[in-house]
Every structure is written in structure tokens, then in C-alpha cells.
């Protein structure tokens, strides 16, 4: 079955590609790198998600127990997915992922509590879209809980448009421009 979601007419981009670094709003030096499949990177993400505040969970992810976190990461860190991780020194503090869904990709982004509201989410999502576009991704969709205004605003600012407002969760889509 092909993707029936409406996508914006105008492609968005170009977005920046990893690796990049920037100073966040709290003066911390943050590095954004594409996930390369190293076991240290994976362990860094397990560490980040075991610290994740359950109140920031969305639609059941990230899972709570370490064993479930690991099997969930196996799914979203698979070769056909695209992942960008935000590092503060040795610690993973943010993660954004594109998981294939037929011809499109589903997007999700997570930032550790004490690193939120510091512009990391904005930089991370733009860099993931830049990375995805360079890997051939064009259609990207996501769902977000309607009361999560901060997230909805982030997605809108990035170029996502609402494609389905009739379900429990809001669905949004973006069409990525081909990189020059």
C-alpha cells in the first residue's frame, strides 16, 4: 500500500548535514554526529534512555526497562534507518531518528531533560533532515501528542505541516528538497 498522507507542495531545505557542533543556550559545547554503528555509540544511547524521565515518554517510547530499550534501539538503529546523536563530551544527550515506512520515513526526536529548551532540539532535527536528505529520504512524517505544544511548534518551525488533525495524535509531514 502506498503512502496516502498529504505532503506539502513545496519541498523544504536545504538542511545542514552532520557532523556539526554548536554552543547551546546554556553555553555547553554540543556535537551532532551521524550514528555509525559503533558499540560505544549504542551504549551511550542506552545510558541516555535509561535516564529518561517517564513524563517525557511519547506514545510508549522510549520504553522504561533497559532490556526493552535495547530491543527498541535494535529496531531504530538498523542499517536502513538514519540516526543523528547529540553528544556533550562522552554523553549522549539527544537523539533523532528516521525509520523507513515504505517509501517514506517516520521521525522521532528525544532530548534528555536537563538539555531541553537550549536549542538542541532545533539543531538536532534540522541536522537529521539534512542527513536524511543526503541519504535519499524525501517524504518524512511524524505523530505528536496534541497537548505537546513545544514539540508541535518545533516541527512547524522546521517546515512540517499538519496532515491529519482528526486522530488522537496530530500527524505532520514534510517533503525534503534534493540536496544540491
Partner 1 sequence: MKVLLGLGQGSDAASVLERTAERTVAAGDDLTVAIGGPGSLASVEELEARARETLAEFDLDASVRIVEGDLGSRLVELAEQGGFDRIVLDGGDRSPMGKITISSTVEFVLLNARTSVTLLR
What is the spatial distance between Cα 43 and Cα 23, in angstroms, rounded to a whole number? 24
92 touches partner 1 by CB under 8 A = no
100 touches partner 1 by CB under 8 A = yes
Name which of 31 and 164 has its Cβ closer to partner 1.
Answer: 164
Binding part of the chain for partner 1, among 10-18, 82-90, 95-103, 121-129 by CB under 8 A, reads 95-103
Residue 159: name the closest of 27, 90, 133, 29 by CA.
133
Burial of 42 (0-12, 13-18, 19+ CB in 10 A): middle
* Collapsed DSSP state (helix, strand, coil) of residue 73: helix
Name which of 77 and 86 has its Cβ closer to partner 1.
Answer: 77
Name which of 61 and 154 has its Cβ closer to partner 1.
Answer: 61
Q: Are 112 and 158 in contact (CB under 8 A)?
A: no
Across-strand partners of 145?
169
What is the spatial distance between Cα 24 and Cα 1, in angstroms, rounded to a whole number? 42
60 touches partner 1 by CB under 8 A = yes
CB of 55 to partner 1, least distance (A): 16
Number of residues that bind partner 1 (CB under 8 A): 18
- The residues that touch partner 1, with contacts defined as CB under 8 A, are 58-61, 63, 72, 75-76, 97, 99-101, 106, 108, 143, 167-169
Amino acid at each position: 500500500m502506498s503512502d496516502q498522507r498529504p505532503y506539502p507542495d513545496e519541498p523544504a531545505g536545504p538542511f545542514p548535514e552532520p557532523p556539526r557542533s554548536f554552543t547551546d543556550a546554556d553555553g555547553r559545547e554540543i556535537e551532532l554526529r551521524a550514528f555509525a554503528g559503533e558499540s560505544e555509540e549504542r551504549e551511550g544511547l542506552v545510558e541516555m534512555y535509561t535516564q529518561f524521565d517517564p513524563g517525557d515518554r511519547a506514545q510508549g517510547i522510549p520504553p522504561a526497562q533497559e532490556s526493552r530499550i535495547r530491543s527498541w534501539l535494535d529496531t531504530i538503529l538498523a542499517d536502513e534507518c538514519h540516526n543523528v546523536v547529540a553528544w556533550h563530551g562522552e554523553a549522549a544527550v539527544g537523539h533523532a531518528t528516521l525509520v523507513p515506512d515504505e517509501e517514506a520515513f517516520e521521525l522521532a526526536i528525544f532530548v534528555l531533560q536537563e538539555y531541553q529548551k537550549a536549542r538542541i532540539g532545533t539543531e538536532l532535527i534540522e541536522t537529521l533532515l539534512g542527513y536524511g536528505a543526503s541519504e535519499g529520504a524525501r517524504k518524512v512524517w511524524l505523530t505528536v501528542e496534541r497537548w505537546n505544544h513545544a514539540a508541535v511548534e518545533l516541527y512547524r518551525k522546521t517546515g512540517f505541516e499538519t496532515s491529519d488533525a482528526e486522530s488522537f495524535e496530530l500527524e505532520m509531514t514534510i517533503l525534503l528538497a534534493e540536496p544540491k
